[in-house]
Structure 1
């Protein structure tokens, strides 16, 4: 008689399960995304993102201290400016909101990895990620502005420039501009496979970046595709990206897995606002366990192959993982 094979033997106690566990998430895996706003004394919860706030620079510094004490290695900063214009001047001016935050953060927390999102959508009056010409997004004009903004952010203290615009050729343009300005040591974390997703809604509310007309499907990727993601990643690597990214994460675990299998580059995945808010909303109704659902989701992202997880759960997860 054949013996019954019993994989359950290794599940019989918490200790055994931990001993044979294949995938573990750690606080060192996280980047915490944060929103910095103009003004002073501002710590304002974002209505569509429970637990996430707008911070003025002075209040941001208090939060960065918490991030560092939690053991999270870095943050990703997004700007919420008071004024916007057609060309997104706030993205590249020396006294832009993120530039001001970077200077103070780098002085106070030199060991914290400061990533700066690079896109025009938060700074343009029309909410699109590029310069508009003849009612269309002009790719190559946008590259000039992005390159200028990258140098401005690097000069302010950003360790990582993170272009999220999905313009063709932007990594090469940014790398050339950074190197030409003696910022050869500044890394580029490219939003390489960024899909046109319904899961960005709460973020657009938080950043005030919803497009005033049309949508972003002419430059962000069609979610029906897989091969195109690999093409975009390869292009970014060829152009000089140091870290590649898939965004969103949970609906694109197959893309994360394939990218991790094919490319020997650090791979980030963005656990985006809609993914965060679904769990928060269901937990708020008592329908699911927030901690359990969040840690399960974050583990799935790492199990798929991401080595960096950008998540609004980072602070909570750091406490849960202790």
Structure 2
């Protein structure tokens, strides 16, 4: 009667069988939790476009980092919101600036039980919101910005960062940061290169989270969403300059880029599930349009399946709890 000879459905018959043969598995160690800390806060402050995510006070940040360590997360990525900004982002390299204090706070709280990552960029610290120093015509001055990145890298290393994330997309940033770290005997600090960071529409909620002062856009330095070869060129340059890890950002709309990157390098590959990806799922779930928990697990699994060893996601702690409970 022409019945099928092969029956792949046998492998999907029960939850136990599906669990046994799963090709991609979520694990807390492969997740990194982005955290925001705002200077001067006494209590955490809600972020309207990121339900469930907050701007932390220094005390609540320490508590969140301690929980991340307890849950077995791979790490935390710290972003800061300073009380005052200027044209060159002076607070970024100030030892008493909020990001450097936050790194030191988290390091004191968790010791070596959690990888402490810090965003190495000026956009949170400049009064114009760009990721670098502006020239007289209002454009971002690449090489003047690199000087500031070097100063910021040294400050973050001194504060105790394990990893600095070079997210500004300036030409030569990885090599300059690596050299600066080595000059101050911080050879142990890793450089996570945002090798493929696209000028995406999905960053809006993040800009609320850091109270961005951006004027204009970042298309002259972040990558064109239409391009793949350009991302692979950036990837090659970053690895040649000494990147220890590389990043694709955003994740979900760039899984093709992520797959190409993972197939080309022999360093760990990270992907950032950005604020817009988070907000879209939360908004649709709030309206009853999708199954929230399944959508979260499916989205993160797809990013791992495409080649990411590490996923930065605002759901990291929640998913780690699900894993501990046997729910993911």
TM-score range (shorter-chain normalised) is over 0.9
**Who is 2:86 aligned against?**
85
Structure 2 gaps, min length 5: none
Q: Which has the higher strand share?
A: 1
**Who is 1:39 aligned against?**
40
- Partner Cα separation in structure 1 for residue 139 and residue 294 of structure 2: 44
Aligned residues: 321
Checking the alignment, whether the CA contact within 8 Å between 2:169 and 2:221 is kept in structure 1 is: yes
- Partner Cα separation in structure 2 for residue 108 and residue 296 of structure 1: 32
**Who is 2:50 aligned against?**
49
SS where residue 219 of structure 1 aligns? coil
The alignment's TM-score, normalised by the length of structure 1, stands at: 0.98
- Partner Cα separation in structure 1 for residue 303 and residue 101 of structure 2: 33
* Runs of 4+ displaced beyond 4 Å: none
Structure 1 gaps, min length 5: none
CA deviation after TM superposition for structure 1 residue 73, in Å:
2.3
**Who is 2:182 aligned against?**
179
Q: Label 1:40 to 1:202 Cα distance change in 2 as closer, same or farther (>3 A).
A: closer
SS where residue 133 of structure 1 aligns? coil
**Who is 2:200 aligned against?**
197
CA deviation after TM superposition for structure 1 residue 310, in Å:
0.3
Within 5 A, what are the aligned runs for 1:7-46?
Answer: 7-46=8-47
Structure 1 counterpart of 2:214, from 194, 211, 214: 211
- Partner Cα separation in structure 2 for residue 298 and residue 73 of structure 1: 15
Structure 1 counterpart of 2:155, from 142, 152, 155: 152
SS where residue 232 of structure 1 aligns? helix
The alignment's TM-score, normalised by the length of structure 2, stands at: 0.96
Range moving further from structure 2, 189-198 or 31-40: 31-40
Structure 2 counterpart of 1:257, from 256, 259, 268: 259
Structure 2 counterpart of 1:298, from 294, 297, 300: 300
Checking the alignment, whether the CA contact within 8 Å between 1:40 and 1:58 is kept in structure 2 is: no
Output one character per residue of 1:135-177: Cα deviation in whole Å (capped at 9) or x when no partner: 2110000000000000000100100011100000000000000
